[in-house]
Amino acid sequence: MPTVDKSRGVEKRSSLHKVTPNVVSRNDLLCSVQFKNVLPDVPFEPKFITYPFDSLRFIQYNPTSLERNHRHETLTEVDLGVSVDLILHETHTSLEPADSELHPDDKILLEEEVTAQPESKRARQHARNVSWLRRTEYISSELTRSHTVGETAETKVGYNVKKKLQGLNLYKDRDSQISAIESTFTAAQKPILKHYSKPGVEAREVLPLFPDFKLWHLPFAQVIFDTDPAVYGKKEDRQMQEMSQAMIRGMMDENNEQFVAYFLPSPDTITKREEDDRDGISFRPDEEYEYSLSRDYNWNVKNKASKGYEESYFFVVRPGEGVYYNEIETRVRLNKRRMKTKSAMNSKLLVRHREMTQEEKYAQTVRLTQLEPAVALEEEEEEEEEGEGEETRTSEEEEEAEEEGEEGGSDKDDEFEKAFSSGEDD
């Protein structure tokens, strides 16, 4: 049997219970320490910020391109509801003789229309759309009338409405077209005194409406202020007098930032303007008009060249003449701007009037020609069209014309020199 040394195991167990002198026992409480990081108070009071986005943008339904381009299957019958017997072909044959007369309704459908003439230069000139004129209504068959201009959604909608209201047989017969044309002359003479949608409302006065030929050459702008630009503490009459003569001017500060300065006339300038009004003149050439700075504004400009700009017009009623309208080419929105220095409030604007330059007069003339018909252009085009079919002169006639031209050339030159010299004197 193997022998076991028991004394050796006792020594090992006793050595485990010995405590080394370098180990220090601790009876402290062990736990995780928590540190707090409290945010400081807000140094400013809360403000309401304008939400620039539309609140309905999250609930509006916008179909995707996948849904728009999906082609839904249309379930129909094989014969589309029309049962055609292919075996008994005599079922659909007509029993009437071949020389029978057509029904009057069918004659209207087979009536030949007058072929449209080729479009000429003069026709294209008259076909231009003008915003202040009513669109011409052509009295003819809508099914056979040729459309030279591309159809838009608006024209299609208008045509469908007209079909629903007046029927499909409108202007299909020549007699109906003639009667419709004659009725337009009588309808134009009837005065329109009743309101089209409000019963019992009648017109008290009828005034003609024309473009403002007197002031059309001047471009107008609409200036919109965020608040009332009048100076507080003054009477209303004085405020209106100052604002009616105020001036706005684009300027730039020391940081190259653009802004708009709003100037009000000084008391001396108001007195001078009143004297000019009494004398019936707009200004005095040698006089200076002083204006003082009232406020600075940040500006936002939109004109006809800007994207999304809507055309706007304003009306002027002149007693005894009629109602005139003019176009607003520019719209300016002004918002208050913080004044950086007090010295800027002491800025003065001195205005001295001068005569208009040739470029400015030419620009006004070009703007005024928008209301005038192009008569000279039409005459030239007519001459060109007539000259294309009448160039049949012989060589002998041309030689005789050249000889007559040489004989009378000196007389024509003298007349031209006289006219030119008289024009210079004028």
Judged against a pLDDT cut of 50, whether residue 385 lies above it is answered with yes
Confirm whether 400 is domain-assigned. Answer: no
Name the 3-class secondary structure at 125.
Answer: helix
**pLDDT of amino acid 1:** 45
Structural domain including 167 reads 136-142+155-180
Q: List pLDDT tens digits, range 188-239.
A: 888 888 888 889 999 888 888 899 989 998 989 999 998 888 888 888 888 8
Same domain assignment for residues 160 and 298: no
Burial of 413 (0-12, 13-18, 19+ CB in 10 A): exposed
Total tally of structural domains belonging to the chain: 2
221 assigned to some structural domain? yes
Residue 4 has pLDDT above 60, yes or no: no
Using pLDDT thresholds of 50, 70 and 90, give the confidence band for residue 316.
very high
Does the pLDDT of residue 315 top 90, yes or no?
Answer: yes
Q: Are 251 and 364 found together in one domain?
A: yes
Q: What is the pLDDT of residue 73?
A: 85
Question: Any idea of the CA torsion for 253, 254, 258, 264, to the nearest 10 degrees?
Answer: 0
Burial degree of 39 (CB within 10 A; 0-12, 13-18, 19+): exposed
Mean per-residue pLDDT of the chain: 74
Q: Residue 327: beta bridge partners?
A: 313
* pLDDT value, residue 77: 79
pTM, full prediction:
0.45
> Who has greater pLDDT, 138 or 54?
54
Cβ neighbourhood burial of 371 (10 Å; 0-12, 13-18, 19+): middle
pLDDT at site 143: 47
Examine the domain organization and report whether 172 and 319 are in the same domain. Answer: no
> Percent of the chain beyond pLDDT 70?
62
Parallel, antiparallel, or unpaired: how do β-strands 247-252 and 258-265 relate? Answer: antiparallel
Cβ(317)–Cβ(207) under 8 Å? yes
Distance CA 289, CA 352 (A): 7
pLDDT digits (tens, 9 = 90+) for 197-209: 889 999 888 888 8
Q: Do 170 and 271 fall into the same domain? A: no
User: Quick one: pLDDT band at residue 406, thresholds 50, 70, 90?
Assistant: very low
Which of 351, 371, 391 is a domain's end point?
Answer: 371
H-run or E-run covering 104: helix 104-109
- Distance CA(303)–CA(250), nearest Å, equals 16
Q: How many CB atoms lie within 10 A of CB 324?
A: 20
Q: Are residues 174 and 279 in the same domain?
A: no
Tokens at 384, concatenated? 């060109």
Taking the CA atoms of residue 138, residue 144, residue 147 and residue 153 in that order, the dihedral angle to the nearest 10 degrees is: 90
Write down the pLDDT at residue 282: 82
Tell me the average pLDDT across 144-162: 52
281 and 171 in a single domain? The answer is no
